[in-house]
Amino acid sequence: MFAASETLAPLSGGWFLDNAWLAPVVPTIGFALIVLFGKRLPKKGSEIGVLSLLASLVVASGAAWQWIQRVNSAAEEQFVAPVVRTWSWWQAGGVEFTIGQHVDGLTVTVLFVVAFISTLVQIYSLEYLRGDRRYTHFFAALTLFSAGMLAMVVAEDMILFLLGWEIMGLCSFMLIGHWWEDGANSRAALKAFFTVRTGDMGLLVGIAILFFAANEWTTENLGLSGFSIRGISAWALSGDPNSTVILMAAIALFIACIGKSGQFPLHTWLPDAMAGPTPVSSLLHSSTMVVAGVFLVARLYPVFFAGLDILGPSSNVIMVIAAITIVIAAALAFVQTDIKRVLAYSTVSQLGYMMLGLGAGAWLPAVFHIFTHAFFKACLFLCAGS
How high is the pLDDT of residue 11? Answer: 45
Residue bearing the bigger pLDDT, 310 or 45: 45
CA distance between the termini of the chain = 46
How high is the pLDDT of residue 75? Answer: 67
Residue bearing the bigger pLDDT, 299 or 91: 299
- What is the chain's percent helix, strand, coil content, to nearest 5? 70, 5, 20
The strands making up 83-92's β-sheet, listed across from edge to edge, are 3-6, 83-92, 95-103
How high is the pLDDT of residue 3? Answer: 40
Mean pLDDT of all residues in 343-350: 94
The span from the CA of 132 to the CA of 14, in Å, is 42
| pLDDT exceeds 90 at position 105 | yes
pLDDT band of 10, cuts 50, 70, 90? very low
The answer to whether 366 and 279 have CB atoms below 8 angstroms apart is no
- What is the sign, positive or negative, of the torsion defined by CA atoms of 93, 94, 99, 104? negative
Q: State pLDDT tens for residues 282-341.
A: 888 888 889 999 999 999 999 999 988 877 766 789 999 999 999 999 999 999 988 889
Residue type, 29: I
Residue type, 333: A
The answer to whether 34 and 140 have CB atoms below 8 angstroms apart is yes
pLDDT band of 144, cuts 50, 70, 90? very high
The span from the CA of 59 to the CA of 326, in Å, is 35
pLDDT band of 18, cuts 50, 70, 90? very high
The answer to whether 224 and 214 have CB atoms below 8 angstroms apart is no
| pLDDT exceeds 90 at position 132 | no
Residue type, 40: R
How high is the pLDDT of residue 322? Answer: 96
Please list the residues that pair with 91 across neighbouring strands.
96
Q: State pLDDT tens for residues 155-207.
A: 999 999 999 999 999 999 999 988 888 878 899 899 999 999 888 999 999 99
Query: What SS3 class is residue 227?
Result: coil
92-106, 108-122, 203-217: segment of lowest average pLDDT: 92-106
Question: Is the pTM for the entire model greater than 0.85?
Answer: yes
How high is the pLDDT of residue 80? Answer: 85
Query: Which of 237, 242, 354 has its CA nearest to residue 306?
Result: 237
Rg (CA), the chain: 20
Q: In Å, how far are 173, 269, 274, 363 from 338, measured between CA atoms?
A: 22, 16, 10, 34
